[in-house]
Amino acid sequence: MSKSTIPLHVSTTSNTLMKQRKYLIELNEYEANHSHPLDINFELPSAQSESTKNVKIGIYFATWWSLNVVFNIYNKKVLNAFPYPWLTSTLSLAAGSFIMLVSWAARVADPPKTDFEFWKTLLPVAVAHTIGHVAATVSMSKVAVSFTHIIKSGEPAFSVLVSRVLLGESFPLPVYFSLLPIIGGCALSAVTELHFNMIGFMGAMISNLAFVFRNIFSKKGMTGKSVSGMNYYACLSILSLLLLTPLAIIVEDLKWVAAQSIFYHLYNQVSYMSLDQISPLTFSIGNTMKRISVIVSSIIIFHTPVLPVIKDADSP
């Protein structure tokens, strides 16, 4: 059949089908170029992950504070019976180093993969950690645990000051105002302390400054590293032990103080697992809140006398 003899309705139908086919092809191309796939798995896993992280941090904080209370009680008992803070500090680091070396050897924990650059970065952290640890222990050997921790509760103020001056970080005005009660409380405690001791006071202050540097250096050193918070602190303990041991041997005799040494490592290890998840400032604030439980526990255990700041007018 020739083209001229094709019925009109057949030709019209064919043209209509071709137009529809062309329209569908153009429509598919437009949708392919302009459509955005619906990511239904974004919001729910993100919210769930954030919630899980918050629960994890909460468990870390509770464990960290509990272990720290036990450590401080044992530490003060040891220092009361054995007033050698340098040696006590050394044994604390030795116990933690021993625990982690055994854990790595037994494959209870995976050993970290480190190189020379890692240990080079860790060195200033270890220096700050060693100074802060010894200074705090010296402070507790001279004054009540509660007084040491009241002074050390000023750590957030040191953290903000160092971050502002050395790192150029700025904070909202409410952050600065929130530090005023902390600073005022530390000053009031120093003035009203019944058994004030300058060595104890300065030890706590030096410890504050050293630990702020430790936290900042640690966070920088942990950024981009494959070493976990637990193994990072283990390596820090080993390096600090190497730095402190010669000094402790010179200053004091060698004895073993197991209980406070083990708890010192445990609470610090959990605190570094927390630091792995949070900023140095949040870490310092958590450290301050932790001291409330330490202060209350030490007052109860050691029967530390507590007097009101303002006496009655009739009292002598």
Q: Return the pLDDT at 77.
A: 94
Asked if the model's pLDDT at residue 273 lies above 60, the reply is: yes
Is the residue at 282 inside a domain? yes
Is the residue at 69 inside a domain? yes
What is d(CA 30, CA 25) in angstroms, rounded to the nearest whole number? 9
Asked if the model's pLDDT at residue 28 lies above 70, the reply is: no
Q: Return the pLDDT at 46.
A: 60
For the entire predicted model, the pTM comes to 0.70
Is the residue at 283 inside a domain? yes
What is d(CA 154, CA 180) in angstroms, rounded to the nearest whole number? 10
What phi and psi, each to the nearest 5 degrees, are found at residue 106?
-85, 0
Considering only CA atoms, which of 127, 125, 126, 147 is closest in space to residue 72?
147
What is d(CA 210, CA 202) in angstroms, rounded to the nearest whole number? 12
Integer angstrom CA distances of residue 282 from 13, 188, 253, 276: 74, 25, 38, 11
What is d(CA 190, CA 202) in angstroms, rounded to the nearest whole number? 11
What is d(CA 285, CA 160) in angstroms, rounded to the nearest whole number? 11
Integer angstrom CA distances of residue 281 from 153, 178, 278: 13, 13, 8
Pick the most confident of 34-38, 43-47, 273-277: 273-277
Q: Counting every residue, how long is the chain? A: 316
Is the residue at 12 inside a domain? no
Is the residue at 50 inside a domain? no
Is the residue at 76 inside a domain? yes
**What is the mean predicted confidence (pLDDT) over 240-260?**
77
**What is the mean predicted confidence (pLDDT) over 1-6?**
47
Asked if the model's pLDDT at residue 27 lies above 70, the reply is: no
pLDDT digit string, tens, across residues 166-186 = 778 888 888 888 888 888 888
**What is the mean predicted confidence (pLDDT) over 214-229?**
81
Is the residue at 195 inside a domain? yes
Considering its fold, how many domains does the chain have in total?
Answer: 1
Q: Return the pLDDT at 44.
A: 46
Is the residue at 29 inside a domain? no
**Range(s) of the domain holding residue 174:** 60-302
Cα of first residue to Cα of last residue in the chain, in angstroms, is 130
pLDDT digit string, tens, across residues 116-154 = 989 999 999 999 999 999 999 999 999 999 899 889 888
Pick the most confident of 4-13, 130-139, 209-218: 130-139
Torsion sign (Cα): 231, 232, 233, 238: positive
